[in-house]
Amino acid sequence: MTRPAITIAVRAARAAGNVILRYMNRIDGLAVVEKQRMDFASEVDKLAEAEIVKELRRAYPDHGILAEESGAGGKKGSPLTWVIDPLDGTHNYLRGIPHFSVSIAMLDKGVPVYGVVFDPLRGELFTASKGDGAYLDKGTGPTRIRVSKREDLGGAMIATGFPWRQRAHLDAQLAMTRALLGQAEDIRRSGSAALDLAYTAAGRYDGYFEIGLKPWDMAAGVLLVHEAGGRYGDFAGRDGIPASGNIIAGNLNVAKAMTDAIGAQATPELLKA
């Protein structure tokens, strides 16, 4: 059964996707700002976010909103908050690399209860509702998705990212990568955390880890993983969305093996809650 909140979030994600696709052939003419060093946002990010916020406010005026570009909004103090990344993979988009997504999640007192990740280029729509499972709709209707059945890191395909904000932890992250590659088949770095998590939920990747994500990067994706039968938590193995942003996700076996391997290489700072 499709929940009303998912219907609204899907409508908002598709509206944002239309904006993103509309400007694809005009990338060279886009206004781009550097929010911080190596952290870029284009006018497309803002236009797509405006479409999402408009849809959500129309349906849920009493909910809070936390959006990547515009920050906190909506009703203050509401236990229900929509967390939005209008264009996850902006760097890919601005370079013409065809891998980016829209991510929208609703949190109830900080816990994700609804999530949507939409790939407008491929037309792949990932959705999840707490307790109802995770689904992928490629245009012919939703089908249930599950995390992979891999039992350990042997032969695993892992996804990660190397965010500019966390270059101070580069040595530790390279050590983690080396430890995982000693057992896994390979590691991919695609440039969209939301899609990495959605692919993990769908069993395309066996696991995922990254340092220093923001709530909008992972809120929808971690719910997809959980509802697909997987697990997510921080580098010390604590379940839930990590305040640190240091995330590990995967099926139960791979997530545990990744936590062991990464925990052995992480600095004390990276293991903090």
Share of the chain above pLDDT 70, in %: 91
Pick the residue with more confidence: 137 or 78?
Answer: 137
Whether residues 57 and 85 fall in one domain: yes
CB 241 within 8 A of CB 191: no
pLDDT above 60 for 14: yes
Whether residues 161 and 251 fall in one domain: yes
pLDDT tens per residue, range 84-102: 999 999 889 988 899 999 9
CB 103 within 8 A of CB 194: yes
Contacts for 245 with CB less than 8 Å, ≥ 6 apart: 210, 211, 212, 213, 214, 217, 218
Tell me if residue 51 falls in helix, strand or coil: helix
Whether residues 8 and 138 fall in one domain: yes
| Domain-located, residue 191 | yes
Whether residues 108 and 131 fall in one domain: yes
| Domain-located, residue 11 | yes
Cα end-to-end span (Å), the chain:
36
pLDDT above 70 for 8: yes
Chosen domain end from 123, 144, 165? 144
CATH code of the domain containing 104: 3.30.540.10
Domain tally, the chain: 2
Whether residues 129 and 170 fall in one domain: no
Pick the residue with more confidence: 30 or 57?
Answer: 57
Whether residues 198 and 134 fall in one domain: no
Whether residues 198 and 114 fall in one domain: no
State residue 165's pLDDT score: 66
Range of the domain at 94: 4-144
| Domain-located, residue 151 | no
| Domain-located, residue 150 | no
Task: At 220, list the tokens.
Answer: 């929808």
Nearest residue to 160 via CA among 238, 261, 32, 269: 261
Pick the residue with more confidence: 273 or 195?
Answer: 195
CB 224 within 8 A of CB 232: no
| Domain-located, residue 263 | yes
pLDDT tens per residue, range 116-141: 999 999 999 999 999 999 999 999 99
Tell me if residue 194 falls in helix, strand or coil: helix
Whether residues 123 and 189 fall in one domain: no
Whether residues 16 and 101 fall in one domain: yes
| Domain-located, residue 52 | yes
pLDDT above 60 for 35: no
Task: Name the least confident of 20-29, 54-63, 170-179.
Answer: 20-29
| Domain-located, residue 237 | yes
State residue 257's pLDDT score: 97
CB 232 within 8 A of CB 239: yes
CB 226 within 8 A of CB 127: no
Tell me if residue 45 falls in helix, strand or coil: helix
State residue 269's pLDDT score: 93
Whether residues 186 and 217 fall in one domain: yes
Whether residues 84 and 168 fall in one domain: no
| Domain-located, residue 149 | no
Chosen domain end from 144, 173, 206? 144
pLDDT tens per residue, range 161-192: 987 666 788 889 899 999 999 999 999 999 99
Q: What is the DSSP letter of 60?
A: -
CB 39 within 8 A of CB 90: no
Residue 249 pairs in a beta bridge with 208, 232
Whether residues 232 and 166 fall in one domain: yes
Confidence of residue 31 (pLDDT cuts 50, 70, 90): low
Whole-model pTM? 0.93
Tell me if residue 232 falls in helix, strand or coil: strand
Chosen domain end from 109, 144, 179? 144
Tell me if residue 17 falls in helix, strand or coil: helix
CATH code of the domain containing 230: 3.40.190.80
Query: How many Å separate Cα 72 from the centre of its chain?
Result: 19
pLDDT above 50 for 39: no
Task: Name the least confident of 22-26, 58-62, 125-129, 261-265.
Answer: 22-26
Residue labelled with tokens 């995330």: 247
State residue 52's pLDDT score: 97
Handedness of CA 198, 147, 182, 178 (dihedral sign): positive
Contacts for 182 with CB less than 8 Å, ≥ 6 apart: none
- Look up residue 197 and give its amino acid: L
